[in-house]
Structure 1
């Protein structure tokens, strides 16, 4: 897993950026965009703030590394300070953002991408950057409208794109949690890497499950969403 201090470093400078787009793609879930002024490696993060009165929050980049804009996927935290303000922004408004950084890096190696909720963001960035070959994407959500980018991913990845829904059912969607799906697989490759992105509970549960199935610890790489 990445070390917390790698992401919480206080010496990362923030720069003024102008919002180019803000789209609500599902109830309470938004993609906000600003011009890409720096190169990045798919999987990296940026720190974002509205001003200097509150500490910035960390978000995975959700766009390909050759796109004109950097896009950030987020859902509104009703008790939060930042996300309600971000959701209300319009093109021309300004935010503060860091240069991309972080060690959750997409590679060409055979990998399982395992995400829940908005944890799909770094994997969509990897997908958009041409790294989906030899990848299996497993995305878990509570509701059917939370499989962000599903049409595009389903068309491009086919049977290597697996959706797991814990509260609703539909054809071609596994009825249950990501952990339920992984328990149903008897032949997980010990040679694959396993990238996990989502809330801490999911990451810990999936990590422990993979280890029980014989996956080497060093093959499990995690990004935790708070």
Structure 2
């Protein structure tokens, strides 16, 4: 079998895994853990399902590539099929997980990581995998309790960890959206990579803003959350 065919087959295959932990880290937001079966690149994704009836959904891995557990960050979608069932799982229950895949992978190069909401997941994986040097992390959220892992990120990254909150205010947090914050930055470096992860509207708006500020298109790497 050709390598490309093997990759597609591996991408589609789902393996039954046992839940190790499932913690609600913020209202309606969970961090689900299973034992890691495969190696992966920080920033990659897996497909996740609770049965073979409904199609799986894609989630970024939210753990370091050296850890024994593979973790997924997700929020409950009202009226959704998968996420309410995922939220109800307890240690010992089973879940279906694919092999990691995808090209949204971090590196040791200088970069800006730009995320909204649970789009922080791949960047936390990169951070946990030792790739935070020479990085700026910009995280946008509607409410202050949506800055997941903020204590750890703030302690480790200091001034390179920048929070933007659109609906609440606090010291050391920019009041406004990610795009509002980026417009206040006078000199966005053109010689670094920009990784964007979040909903489609944010990704498109930030990409267009970066291009208008002289950032080369090839320096912008995007992952859209649905």
TM-score range, shorter chain: over 0.9
SS of the residue 1:139 aligns to = strand
Deviations 1:176-221 (A, max 9, x none): 0000000001100000100000000000000000000000000000
Residue 195 of structure 2 corresponds to residue 198 of structure 1: no
Match status 1:216 vs 2:216: yes
1:105 and 1:124 map into 2 onto residues whose CA distance is 12
Separation of aligned partners in 2, 1:11 and 1:45 = 10
Name stretches of at least 5 consecutive residues in structure 2 with no aligned partner. Answer: 1-7
- Output the CA distance in 2 between the equivalents of 1:72 and 1:24: 12
2:3 counterpart residue number: none
Counterparts of 1:77 and 1:140, CA distance in 2? 19
Matching of residue 170 in structure 1 with residue 180 in structure 2: no
User: In structure 2, how many angstroms separate the alpha carbons of the residues matched to 1:97 and 1:197?
Assistant: 21
Question: Partner residue of 1:161?
Answer: 161
TM-score by length of 1: 0.95
Answer whether contact 2:11 2:100 (CA < 8 A) is retained.
no
**Structure 1 residues 117 and 172: CA distance shift in structure 2, 3 A:** same
TM-score (norm 2): 0.95
Deviations 1:82-118 (A, max 9, x none): 0000000000000110010000000011000000000
SS at match of 1:155: helix
Runs of 4+, deviation exceeding 2 Å: 8-11
What pairs with 1:33-72 in structure 2 (closer than 5 Å)? 33-72=33-72
Cα separation, 1, equivalents of 2:145 and 2:72: 18
Q: Give the distance between the partners of 1:168 and 1:203, measured in 2 at CA.
A: 22
RMSD: 1.2
For 1:68 and 1:10, how far apart are their aligned partners in 2? 21
Q: CA 1:11/1:124 → structure 2, altered by over 3 Å: closer, same or farther?
A: closer
